[in-house]
Chain A
Amino acid sequence: MRSDADTLNLEVTIDKEKLRDFFLSSVGNLSECKQGQNPFNEENPCLPQGQSADEFLDSFLESKGLNFFEESTVDLTQVYGIEVGSEQRKSLDNLRDYIAYYKALKIILIVLILIMLSLIFLLQQPNTKKSLRTAGLIFIVPAIILFFTSLSINRVDQYIQISDPIFDSMIDVVKNALSNNFLFYSGVIGALGVALFISSFLIKQKTLLIDKKKPIKKKV
């Protein structure tokens, strides 16, 4: 993904001299035109008699309406057929829409988690200690799962044999990045879980204190 940029800029600076040399060498391989032969025929072009390769190249490009040498940049979106309005561009934009949904999904997930935690908290009221302990466990369990996921990613290369050293190094970097990310989230979620769990032992249960102050009514 081109980060968060909305515009697709595929303009490249071309080496005009190299490009011209390439075309000139191609023109140099052409045979001289026979009588009645069209030099601008795309299938079978030929070099008109008395014309140099330079002159013919200019006239050929002019006849086709191509202007490679007027500008030093080329927009590759046109070369690859992904310019604005094209079918392929629409497909790419559709794919980008899915990525936007994926980004929105993360926000939705955070909101859902907060709603779930609030519901758990409400269901376990007035026992705040219990609510904190449950919330702590809810955070600790995924932290453990993410920790083992991180470890298992590091061991993936035991099962996959890659013979190409370049590709192997690239896979290593990707694998380490994923593993470190999982380890980071495991640490953050785990720390939060432990903090919630410990706080459940530290806070005083208000309901119990209130109950103790009230005289106990005996049923007759």
Chain B
Amino acid sequence: MGLIKKIGVFFLSILTILLLILLSFSFTLSSFLYPQLYFDAFEAAGMYEYIGDNLENAPNMFIQIPPTGARALLKHYSPIFLVI
């Protein structure tokens, strides 16, 4: 009986370790589902300035750019590229 208990505890422990790792991965990967990560990436890469310059010079750009610039525009319209 003692051996069966030990084997049981061993397998339950392995399973719990795997579940803990899976839980940590799922919490970490959740950040991809929210726009903040993308905004930070855009900020660091200077994408707002790049997009802002291109939008201002684009001849067929009909979306109104707010006075606060491309940053506000992209944050406001984030559902467009996070359509899911």
Residues of A at the B interface (CB closer than 8 Å) are 1-3, 5, 8-10, 12-15, 18-19, 22, 72, 76, 82, 92, 95-96, 99, 102-103, 105-106, 109-110, 112-113, 116-117, 119-120, 123-124, 134, 137-139, 141-142, 145-146, 165-167, 169-170, 172-174, 177-178, 181-182, 185-186, 189
Contacts and interface: CB of A to CB of B under 8 A. Distances in A.
B13 A120 contact: yes
Chain B's interface size range is: 35 or more
A14 B64 contact: yes
Interface of B: 5, 8-9, 12-13, 15-17, 19-24, 26-28, 30-31, 33-35, 37, 40-47, 50, 59-64, 77-80, 82-84
Contact of A139 (B20, B37, B82, B84): B20
A119 B31 contact: no
A134 B6 CA distance: 11
B64 A15 contact: yes
The listed residue with most B CB atoms (<10 A of its CB), out of A116, A169, A181, A182, is A116
A185 B63 contact: no
Please report whether the interface of chain B is mostly helix, strand, loop or mixed according to DSSP.
helix
A92 B83 contact: yes
Please report whether the interface of chain A is mostly helix, strand, loop or mixed according to DSSP.
helix
A19 B21 contact: no
Contact of B26 (A76, A109, A113, A141): A109
Contacts of A110: 23
A182 B15 contact: no
A5 B77 CA distance: 13
A8 B84 CA distance: 8
B16 to A, nearest CB: 4
